[in-house]
Amino acid sequence: GAGVSQTPSNKVTEKGKYVELRCDPISGHTALYWYRQSLGQGPEFLIYFQGTGAADDSGLPNDRFFAVRPEGSVSTLKIQRTERGDSAVYLCASSSRLAGHMIFGPGTRLTVL
Amino acid sequence: DAKTTQPTSMDCAEGRAANLPCNHSTISGNEYVYWYRQIHSQGPQYIIHGLKNNETNEMASLIITEDRKSSTLILPHATLRDTAVYYCIVRALNTGTASKLTFGTGTRLQVTL
């Protein structure tokens, strides 16, 4: 497709479990971003990649959160030992050097019971 | 990135122009003004951005004051589908396209019949 896609669209898990959230950016976009959004708040930056490397991971809240982008396209956000406070919508975005502006995916709604 | 100040909410009648203000009094010379919007349950959508000149595209117009300390997003003929949260963000681009956006809480625009 032409847009950023994220899977799954919804994920329900239990406290303490491990989850992986996937982002497929627009083909050819070199930069990829992860955000999370709690109810009533604006999106909060987590991490971004330029190519395969994490250029800025200052928004990751703690070491339970990790993200990879091994081939410079698809990215996976990994959350270990999930907590109820991790419940949020996780948004992915990508951008190209030409356009500059970020295009967001629809998000993954994570619910930790 | 510099902070922005926006009204929490605004109403607009359908068919009228919606003028959404934003203050960014601490903006730096290399920072652009970006506008995104987020319709309920969707990812943020890019609208427009500018540095110091006014900009117009198929979605909206962006008016930036001469001192760059404030701007106004104009939706010339608002429709019910424009009901959303609108985010004004300043973003430095001196490092290329891969720089994060820092979202605030935005302005909730309600378009009414």
Task: Compute the distance between CA of residue B85 and CA of residue B9 in angstroms, rounded to an integer.
Answer: 8
Nearest chain B residue to A107, by CA: B43
Compute the nearest-CA separation of B4 from chain A (Å).
Answer: 13
> Phi, psi (5° rounding) for residue A85?
-70, -10
pLDDT at B91: 87
pLDDT at A99: 57
Q: Is A53 on the interface with B (CB under 8 A)?
A: no
**Considering only CB atoms, which chain B residues are within 8 Å of A97?**
96-97
pLDDT at A67 over 90: yes
Structure-token pair, residue A17? 């479990």
What tens digit of pLDDT does each residue of B11-30 get?
999 999 999 999 999 998 88
**Considering only CB atoms, which chain B residues are within 8 Å of A44?**
103
Q: In what order do the strands lie in the sheet containing B107-112?
A: B9-13, B107-112, B84-92, B31-38, B45-50
**Residue that the structure tokens 């609208």 belong to:** B47
- Length of chain B measured in residues: 113
Of B97, B104, B106, the CB nearest to A31: B97
Compute the nearest-CA separation of A31 from chain B (Å).
Answer: 6
Contact call for residues B91 and A95 (beta carbons, < 8 A): no
Nearest chain B residue to A105, by CA: B43
Of B43, B45, B104, the CB nearest to A42: B104
Mean pLDDT in consecutive groups of 10 residues from the start of chain B, 113 residues? 88 97 93 94 94 94 96 97 96 67 93 95
pLDDT at A112: 98
Structure-token pair, residue A6? 């994220």
**Considering only CB atoms, which chain A residues are within 8 Å of B93?**
100
Structure-token pair, residue B35? 């506008």
CA angle A39, A48, A94 (to 5 degrees): 80
Mean pLDDT of A48-72: 94
